[in-house]
Amino acid sequence: MNVVGPPFGLSVWDPALDADIGAGLAAVEEGLLEATKSDVPFITDAARHLLQAGGKRFRPLLVMLGAQFGDPFAPGVVPAAVVVELTHLATLYHDDVMDEADARRGVPSANTRWGNSVAVLTGDFLFSRASHILADLGPEAVRVQAEAFERLVTGQILETVGPRDGRDPLDHYLEVLAGKTSSLMAVSARFGAMMSGADEAVVHTLTQFGERIGIAFQLADDVLDIASDSHESGKTPGTDLREGIPTLPVLHVRKQYALAGGAVSADDRRLIELLDGDLTDDRLHAEALGMLRAHPALDQARRDSLRYAEEARTALAPLPEGPAKQALAGLCDAVVHRAG
């Protein structure tokens, strides 16, 4: 894969940096194809199903940018990027089973095509390949990945069981995202710095950046699920809404309703009624989607995404000035402005 121009819509780029990142991401793509190859052709087909459907490769991009603060051509950089993307892909197979999703990245989900058992086992296969590569990166890399994976699974469990009694659902949701999304984003930026031999202070700074950009990334996806008329989010707009997944705009609607003690407009009461009902009906789904698009909760969700992106930008302050720092700052803008 060749990267032409700034990937992921970065607003600040540099020709030399562009060449380095393009070469790195092309090598990652080759590594992903090799890692998903099995002696059993069926396993290869299943393992490459989502890989070949596309994807942003956002986590490998974070690895490549993080590596710019040391030796970007160090031997562990590309394998580390392959590890984080394989891990991400594996979680998608498992997520689709748990969510009973019909499609992913514009193609039928693996569970739809082959059934839940094959989808789960394919995710496990990808985890095993990631672990095999990781073993060659040293015990510290294994420890970092293991801790991130624990956080990722913890976030998924917390999402599954829901908030405990008395817990603010919004706070619970952000805790879920810190595990499910930010953990692997943080490891991506951290691995880039680690594998390139960057100073420990730089490793720490990039880890903190990854934590915050991960939250901003997911919150922007939440906004896109409601606001977008295209497939920018990789899913049909309103997918989470149809499946009853409580994303940020919906949580804001519910919180505003609760704070008002139900003393809200007729439109808001109707929206809550829709959200409490079955939105697999196309007519009701379209009504709820239209009402959410006009609701102040959507603007509040946009502001939340912007706030986390600004925190990510602020976290970059200790890094040395240069094209890589500018690119990371540009990434803060690119992530949230997907949500328009």
Residue 114 has pLDDT above 90, yes or no: no
Instruction: Note the pLDDT tens digit of each residue in 129-171.
Output: 999 999 999 999 999 999 999 999 999 999 989 898 888 999 9
Q: Per mean pLDDT, which range of 102-116, 209-223, 237-251, 273-287 is the poorest?
A: 102-116
Instruction: Note the pLDDT tens digit of each residue in 314-324.
Output: 999 999 999 99
Could you tell me which residues are beta bridge partners of residue 103? 108
Token readout for 289 is 């989607």
**Residue 98 host element (H or E):** helix 77-99
Residue 92 has pLDDT above 90, yes or no: no
Specify the pLDDT at position 3.
Answer: 39
Rounded distance, CA 217 to CA 332, Å?
Answer: 9
pLDDT (mean) for 80-105: 84
**Mean pLDDT, rounded, of the chain:** 88
Residue 274 has pLDDT above 60, yes or no: yes
Rounded distance, CA 249 to CA 221, Å?
Answer: 11
Task: 38-43: list long-range contacts, CB under 8 Å, 24+ apart.
Answer: 38/125, 43/122, 43/125
pLDDT (mean) for 33-39: 94
Instruction: Note the pLDDT tens digit of each residue in 95-106.
Output: 777 766 666 776
pTM here?
A: 0.90
Token readout for 193 is 């710095």
CATH architecture of structural domain 14-193: Orthogonal Bundle (1.10)
Specify the pLDDT at position 7.
Answer: 56
Q: Per mean pLDDT, which range of 88-92, 99-103, 110-114, 260-264 is the poorest?
A: 99-103
The CATH number given to 199-319+331-340 is: 1.10.600.10
In the chain, where are the structural domains located?
A: 14-193, 199-319+331-340
List CB contacts of 218: < 8 A, sequence separation 6 or more.
177, 180, 181, 182
Eight-class DSSP state of 103 = E
Specify the pLDDT at position 233.
Answer: 45
Residue 232 has pLDDT above 70, yes or no: no
Instruction: Note the pLDDT tens digit of each residue in 174-186.
Output: 999 999 999 999 9
Same fold across 14-193 and 199-319+331-340? yes
